[in-house]
Amino acid sequence: MDKLRITGGAPLAGEVTVSGAKNAALPILCASLLSAEPLTLANVPQLNDTTTMLRLLGTMGVRSEQTGTDAVILQADRVDKLEAPYELVKTMRASILVLGPLVARFGEARVSLPGGCSIGQRPVDQHIKGLAALGAEISIEHGFVVARAKRLKGASIRTDMVTVTGTENLLMAAVLAEGQTILENAAREPEIVDLAELLIKMGARISGHGTDRIVIDGVERLHGADHRVMSDRIEAGTFLCAVGAVGGDILLRDAAPAAMGATLDKLAEAGLQIETGPDWIRARMQGRPKAVGLRTHEYPGFATDMQAQLMALNTIAEGTAVIVENIFENRYMHVQELCRLGAEIDIDGHTAVVRGVPRLSGATVMATDLRASASLVIAGLAAEGDTLVDRIYHLDRGYDRMEVKLQGLGARIQRITGKESA
């Protein structure tokens, strides 16, 4: 198993290019199932999760051709298996995103039910409820969601809570349904807007994306399209937290500052000097950050996917920060590990109180999930001495060559491969 060795204390300086967004790329790859014609995608990040999604689509008969490091052409003209098996779904919950497209285009789907995961239970009842409202017959058989429909029929659907992949699944189902669908209480994340824009290029009729009421007029078929996946706002935010923690001066290229308002506001409050252009962000930091409290919320609120990284910044801040996690019930797995580096954090239910300490000290820590891993890397960069971050396969799921990008900014960080550490 690979690990990262980090020698803390080096400030960051230079330029780094932000990759395409994982959480936009995953639904967009699934949208290839909606048409027999090719989808030509650019800015697809190189991640274990995108590789897993391409493998899953491949098992169904979707052909994909890598035409550059971040470019791929997908074609779903020979789909012959309408199933997502347990082995793949258990490694990546986003596999549930094939459910809507499969039932919409082929009238049938069998997708293994994802189990709970380290950040919470994460049920998919709203995906199922929405598809049933669109007229699919749904049953749970041997651990699989089985959905059937001759042709889905437009409906008005209000999900019980705001769900990102739930909104995406229902959006992809509704584009091929007969008649109009209205999604109320829809998620407003920029990744949903990116998916909707791709679907519109494919011939879908959608309005209201980016608001909590999306209106979709179903069409009979969709065609091929070209699309560039939006920039990853969470990867960008992670680099900004890193420079906030260790100081320095960095420029992020291919960034999407317009989608990062809540994160940029918090980082400015913490003392970073931030300048932005349409697709770049420059961040400078000197001295210790100031403590900044936050409450995670659906977009445009503060993203739960940035909570762990901001917590890492707060561990060495001047003052005490109160953090409230509102989206997932168990997204504090990084706390214990940050405490191993000398952080002072107390948790009470959904609330974490972080008392900033002047310095962290390097130690061996274990990554437990994707964003937890990122917070440990940030803390390791700020800590005195060496930190070893174990189980970085979590990090590789969602960050495109993170240690290489950080090395480019002057960080002392090295990957130790399974073989070397054995």
Residues with catalytic function: 117
Rounded to the nearest 10°, the torsion over CA 356, 359, 361, 362 is 90
The residue (of 328 and 390) whose beta carbon lies closer to ligand EPU is 328
326 is in an annotated binding site: no
What single DSSP character describes residue 83? E
Smallest gap from residue 412 Cβ to ligand EPU (A): 26
Distances (CA, A) of 381 to 8, 134, 341, 412: 4, 49, 11, 8
Give the Cα separation of 341 and 216 in Å (integer): 50
The reply, when asked if residue 215 is annotated as ligand binding, is no
Residues that bind ligand EPU (CB under 6 A): 22-23, 26, 94, 120-127, 161, 163-166, 304-305, 327-328, 370-371, 398
Q: Are 118 and 135 in contact (CB under 8 A)?
A: no
Minimum distance from residue 287 beta carbon to ligand EPU (Å): 30
Is 74 or 317 the residue whose CB approaches ligand EPU more closely? 74
Q: Is the dihedral of CA 196, 200, 204, 210 positive or negative?
A: positive
- From the CB of 12, what's the least distance to ligand EPU, in Å? 23
129-153: burial string, b at 16+ Cβ within 10 Å, e else: bbbebbbbebeeeeebbbbbbebbb
Q: Is 103 annotated as a binding residue?
A: no
Question: Which CB, 144 or 328, lies closer to ligand EPU?
Answer: 328
Q: Report, in Å, the least distance between residue 394 CB and ligand EPU.
A: 9
Contact 16, 250 (CB under 8 A): yes
Compare residues 145 and 164 and give the one whose CB is closer to ligand EPU.
Answer: 164
Place of tokens 């790329």: 25
* 254 marked as part of a ligand binding site: no
Q: Is 305 annotated as a binding residue?
A: yes
d(CA 19, CA 411): 19
Which of 92, 179, 169 has the alpha carbon at shortest distance from 126? 169
Least distance in angstroms from the C-beta of 174 to ligand EPU: 16
Residue 419 annotated in ligand binding: no
Whichever of 162 and 281 has its CB closer to ligand EPU, that residue is 162
Binding residues for phosphoenolpyruvate: 22-23
Binding residues for UDP-N-acetyl-alpha-D-glucosamine: 93, 122-126, 305, 327
Binding residues: 22-23, 93, 122-126, 305, 327
